[in-house]
Amino acid sequence: MAEEEIEDCAICLIRMQNDAGGGIAQLPCSHVFHAECVGKWLLGHPTCPTCRSASWVEADRAAEEPGDVMQPGSNDDDDDTMLLYMFPHWLLYPI
């Protein structure tokens, strides 16, 4: 993020710093937020707080029946899928 591009986090409205040391996350729609802010946001909302894009949802999850919700402890063989759905991999890497 260039110096002139530093902006406020749309969730907490506090200025983001380019030296945040991994504290900034970029969503696939290219919007950026404090990693902690967007992590908390995504626990309750499946979309980008700015544009409401849900493009991060895994393709196989998007193909499931509407209304199907994967619950913790369900008979899903891949527990990592649930973790990736709740905490997408792009949140783990700073921009």
Q: Residue 45 has what pLDDT?
A: 86
Whether residue 11 is predicted with pLDDT greater than 90 in this model: the reply is yes
Pairing mode of beta strands 32-34, 24-26: antiparallel
Chain centroid, CA 29 distance in Å: 10
Q: Could you give the percent of the chain with pLDDT greater than 90?
A: 9
The residue ranking higher by pLDDT, 36 or 19, is 36
| Domains, the chain, ordered by start | 1-57 (3.30.40.10)
The SS3 of residue 75 is coil
94 in Cβ contact with 21 (< 8 Å): yes
| Predicted TM-score (pTM) above 0.75 | no
| Per-residue model confidence (pLDDT) at position 49 | 92
Is the torsion defined by CA of 82, 87, 93, 95 positive or negative? positive
Looking up tokens 């991999």 gives: 89
- How far apart are the C-alpha atoms of 35 and 94, rounded to whole Å? 8
Question: Over the stretch 29-69, which tens digit does the pLDDT of each residue have?
Answer: 888 888 889 888 888 888 899 998 875 554 344 444 444 44
Four-CA torsion 21, 22, 28, 31, nearest 10 degrees: -50
